[in-house]
Amino acid sequence: MNKKKVVAMLLAGGQGSRLKTLTKHIAKPAVPFGGKYRIIDFPLSNATNSGISDIGVLTQYKPALLNSHIGIGSVWDYDRNVGGLRILQPFTSEDGGRWYTGTANAIFENIDFLEEIDAQYVLILSGDHIYKMDYNDLLEVHKEKCADVTIAVMEVPWEEASRFGILNVDESMKIVEFDEKPENPKNNMASMGIYMFNWKKLKHYLVEDSKNKNSSHDFGKDILPKMLEDGNKMYAWNFEGYWKDVGTVKSFWEANMDLLGENNTLNLYDKDWRIYTRPKNLPPQYIAETAIIDNSLINEGCVVRGEVNNSILFSETRIEEGAVVNNSVIMSNCTIKKGAKVNNAVILEGITVEEGEIIGKEGGEEIYLVSDEGILVE
Amino acid sequence: MDRCIGIINGGDNENNFGGLCKHRPVYMLPFGGRYRLIDFTISNMVNNGIKSVAIYTGKKMRSTMDHIGNGNPWDLNRRFNGLFMFPPILENDYGLYTGDIHQFHSTEPFFEYAKEKYIFICNPDILAKVDLNEAFKYFLDTDADFTLIYKKQTDSDGDFIRKDKMIIDKDGNLKSMGLNLGTEKEFNLFLEMGFIKKDVFLKLIRQSIERGDTNYLRDAMIQNKENYKVNTYEFKGHVENISDLKNYYDANLNLLNEEIANEMFYENGLVYTKSKDEPSTWYGRDSRVQNSIIANGCIIDGNVENSIIFRGVKIGKDAIVKNSIVMQKGIIKNDAIIVNSILDKYTTVEAYARIAGSSTMPYVVEKNQTIRKDE
């Protein structure tokens, strides 16, 4: 059986500077999400659930925590005899060391790796996105259309379309035009930054692009428009489901709150499409007699004695008696002391909110980001 | 502790647990929301630096195989040392094998081959977070052949009647071992764990086989105690001795006491178990949870009080769960009422159904059963 090999390349070097103190010590893919996960758990789990057995994870910005979180990938069953997960960091060679200067450049620098493992298809993924996707659906369309590249797209609200890279297609979903952040979008199909390439074709364009001094070495800005210009077969595949790129503190907070909404479409309880993360081996949560909990997600090791409404508590967080937490995301190892009130906040790991302290306003529009550097309002 | 092998002597004493041990050994009983009893024993060994752990599984070993696997959660999936599983040998040419002596004898090469000179052996039905490094040091410093671990146990409720009672002299050596009949306020409860020199262990096994006078290591040791130095080590922490349905139920509910929970869950390191990758637990708008331990992956819309809820349980609107244990993947539908009960894995309680035991004798719903409302 000569099975054609898909290799996933997961771009996880992003800084996510608009997330402010959330990414002070860690890369954006390592940002905690949904009570117990880190954002990168979603693409990694998608990859393993899609049966992809080779994956390269490209890290660059503050990789220490990300690297130890991923380890050898055993959590996602990537500790394999044949195939598996490799962390691909920038490296030095005869002509010196180079950082990854763009999404395409990061793949270009790892051409040897992809050749070595004999990739047929290369699936480009981003470590910044929260979604559940079976990449086989994308691969099927790609094969069916005999495409050179197939791009996952999704319909976004028309009023937001000008924030995205918009793809204009013909009736067969063949891409006819790229429209990067258009002022007057012709349609609302946005690129999700998920691409399935034929490796040979991609390699050719990566090498060519690397010689172009004016290129920013980016898939969306350079590689894909160039491929279209040259008349390659490029198709769009329409994804339906939850997808979020959390760019700002507010959208990070919103994405977490989405999980508590009545119309939530990101089902974390689906046993056939589990999201895996490194286990912390903590005991269960304890809910005391004095606790009042309403529409909230609570993780292992928490002790709740106070009031928690519409909130997400990560592991080992303690809510003391009389404390009130509303519409907030509280990360691991925080303590909310007696009589403290927390509204519309994102509280980073290990923070103690002192007795009687009040953070945020009830019913306000602002989000309060609490870290050891103080409180930022957004 | 590198010089010590850990042995888990899983027995076949499963008759006192209603339907709960139909398909599993006692040490595989679910405990504390996300664990099995044996997790505490293995984790304590590993956290104290034991590198080789041998498990004598007993007969009903399917759930053991599934749960322990290659020992990965305890980092026992090593290329050197690590986990050894010994399924029982039930008979040979000379007749039926009955006691643990025969099991040990049949695995003699394992002990001979191991470079460790000492053995820590224990019964996984007894939970005690003993600092094994301290105890091992005492064993070595006193140059004992056996060091048996005990607790000075008070027993005003008679929970420890007919448990092993040790008579100890003023130097801490074992004088004799009998049964506690509750005549004293406090007695020395043998925790069925201890250290033994490997050569003494092998000598006792061979001698018992040759003489044919005993089937159990414990008896062989006591019969021969005059020939060896047998001393004792006192453990001062919390002990759960799981030997029947009632104390299994009580041991779970004891975890609602913060002090006990902290000791059992955190002392000497965390307790490891097979991960189920469940998401966080969701508490709905109408939920009311009081004084309960809740594991991950649950969806709770109803009322829970003084209970232990395992992973992936669903509790519907206006349902009431009180003084109960609901194991993995239980489904409690709307308006059902459950009091003083133990629900094994994958049970369903239909809407408006009611079940209740008493606090002295909990009602047990067996694995995969469905309880419907009386018509």
State the pLDDT at residue A95. Answer: 86
B296 touches chain A (CB under 8 A): yes
Mark yes or no for CB contact B270/A300 under 8 Å.
Answer: no
B319 and A CB contact within 8 Å: no
Share the mean pLDDT of chain B. 94
Amino acid symbol at B159: D
Which residues in chain B have their CB less than 8 angstroms from residue A300's CB? 34, 280, 295-296
CA–CA gap between residue B344 and residue B329 (Å, rounded): 9
Q: Do B280 and A312 touch (CB under 8 A)?
A: yes
What are the tokens at A90? 């920038």
Res B336 pLDDT > 70: yes
Class of domain A286-377: mainly beta
What is the mean pLDDT of the segment spanning B294-305?
A: 98
A289 with B291: Cβ contact below 8 A: yes
Q: Which domains does chain B have, with CATH numbers?
A: 4-265 (3.90.550.10), 282-371 (2.160.10.10)
C-alpha R_g of chain A: 22
Q: Cβ of B46 under 8 Å from any chain A Cβ? A: no
Nearest C-alpha of chain A: how many angstroms from B15?
29
Tell me if B289 and A286 make a contact (CB, 8 A cut-off). no
Torsion sign across C-alpha atoms A126, A132, A135, A138: negative
| Chain B residues with beta carbon closer than 8 angstroms to that of A277 | 277
Which one of B271, B275, B304 has the shortest CB-CB distance to A279?
B275
Chain A contact for B266 (CB, 8 A cutoff) = yes
CB of B307 within 8 Å of a chain A CB? The answer is no
Give how far Cα B231 sits from Cα of B138, B139, B140, B194, B210, Å: 10, 8, 11, 10, 26
Decide if B346 touches A, using CB distance below 8 A. Answer: no
| Inter-residue contact B317 to B302 (CB < 8 Å) | yes
Residues in chain A: 378
B264 to chain A nearest CA, in Å? 10
Q: What angle do CA B240, B241, B246 make, to 5 degrees?
A: 95
Interchain CB contact of B297 with A (< 8 Å): yes
Q: What is the pLDDT of residue B155?
A: 87
Q: Which of B272, B277, B309 sits opposite A281 (nearest CB)?
A: B272
Q: Give which of B13, B37, B35, B8 is closest to B308, Cα–Cα.
A: B35
Mind listing the pLDDT tens digit of every residue in chain A (378 residues)?
Answer: 446 799 999 999 988 889 999 999 999 999 999 999 999 999 999 999 999 999 999 999 999 999 999 999 999 999 999 999 999 999 998 989 899 999 999 999 999 999 999 999 999 999 999 999 999 999 999 999 999 999 999 999 999 898 889 999 999 999 999 988 899 999 999 999 999 999 999 999 999 999 999 999 999 999 999 999 999 999 999 999 999 988 899 999 999 999 999 999 999 999 999 999 999 999 999 999 999 999 999 999 999 999 999 999 999 999 999 999 999 999 999 999 999 999 999 999 999 999 999 999 988 889 999 999 999 998
Provide the residue type at B83 as one letter. L
Banded pLDDT at B157 (limits 50, 70, 90)? confident
Task: Give the span between the Cα atoms of A186 and B3, in whole angstroms.
Answer: 73
Q: Which residue has the tokens 């262990």?
A: B201
Tens digit of each residue's pLDDT (9 = 90 or more) over A30-70:
999 999 999 999 999 999 999 999 999 999 999 999 999 99
CATH superfamily of A6-260: Spore Coat Polysaccharide Biosynthesis Protein SpsA; Chain A (3.90.550.10)
Helix (H, G, I), strand (E, B) or coil at A367: coil
ipTM over 0.85: yes
Q: Do A275 and B277 touch (CB under 8 A)?
A: yes
**Annotation: binding site of A for alpha-D-glucose 1-phosphate:** 100, 165, 180-181, 191
Residue A1: what pLDDT? 41
Query: What pLDDT, in 10s, does the model give residues A120-140?
Result: 999 999 999 999 999 999 999
Q: Is B85 on the interface with A (CB under 8 A)?
A: no
Q: Distance between CA atoms of A307 and B288, rounded to whole angstroms?
A: 11
Tokens of B251: 């041991």
Instruction: Check pLDDT > 70 for residue B210.
Output: yes
Selected for mutation to probe chain A from B36, B40, B255, B282 (highest A CB count within 10 Å) is B282
| Residues above pLDDT 90, as percent of chain B | 88
Mean pLDDT confidence for B95-106: 84
pLDDT at B50: 96
Q: Residues of A at the annotated binding site?
A: 100, 165, 180-181, 191
> Which CA distances in Å does B316 have to B286, B322, B337, B354?
10, 14, 11, 14
Contact A295 B296 (CB under 8 A): no
Which residues in chain B are closer than 8 Å to A281, comparing Cβ atoms? Answer: 73, 270-273, 275
Q: Find out whether B139 and B233 touch, Cβ atoms under 8 Å.
A: yes
Scanning the structure block, which residue is given the tokens 């994956």?
A55
- Is there a contact between A297 and B294 if contact means CB atoms under 8 Å apart? no
Question: In angstroms, rounded to a whole number, what is the distance separating the alpha carbons of residues B315 and B212?
Answer: 55
pLDDT digits (tens, 9 = 90+) for B129-142: 999 999 999 999 99
Mutate to test the interface with A, among B296, B300, B317 (most CBs of A within 10 A): B296
How many interchain CB pairs under 8 A, A with B?
Answer: 99
Interface of A with B (CB under 8 A): 34-36, 268-269, 274-277, 279, 281-289, 291-300, 308, 312-313
Contacting residues of A for B273, CB less than 8 Å apart: 281
In Å, how far is B288's CA from the nearest CA of chain A? 7
* pLDDT, tens digit (0-9, with 9 covering 90-100), for B307-324: 999 999 999 999 999 999
DSSP state letters, A40-84: THHHHHHHHHTT--EEEEE--SS-HHHHHHHTTSGGGT---SSSE
Alpha carbons A55 and A53: distance in angstroms, whole number: 7
Mutate to test the interface with B, among A269, A305, A318 (most CBs of B within 10 A): A269
- Contact assignment for B292 to A286 by CB distance below 8 Å: yes
Whether A193 contacts A224, CB under 8 Å: no
Check B277 against A294: CB less than 8 A apart: no
pTM of the entire predicted model: 0.95
Q: How many CA atoms lie within 13 A of A87 on its CB side?
A: 17
Is B8 at the interface with chain A, CB within 8 A? no
pLDDT at B337 over 80: yes
Residue of A nearest to B261 (CA): A283
pLDDT for residue B236: 97
User: A287 and B289: CB-CB below 8 Å?
Assistant: yes
Inform me whether the C-beta atom of residue B27 falls under 8 Å from chain A C-beta atoms: no
| A194-228 pLDDT per residue, tens | 999 999 999 999 999 999 999 999 999 999 999 99
What pLDDT does residue B12 have?
Answer: 67
Indicate yes or no: CB of A281 within 8 angstroms of CB of B273: yes
- Residue ranges of domains in chain A: 6-260, 286-377
Q: Which residue of B has its CA nearest to A275?
A: B277
pLDDT level of residue B98 (50, 70, 90 thresholds): confident
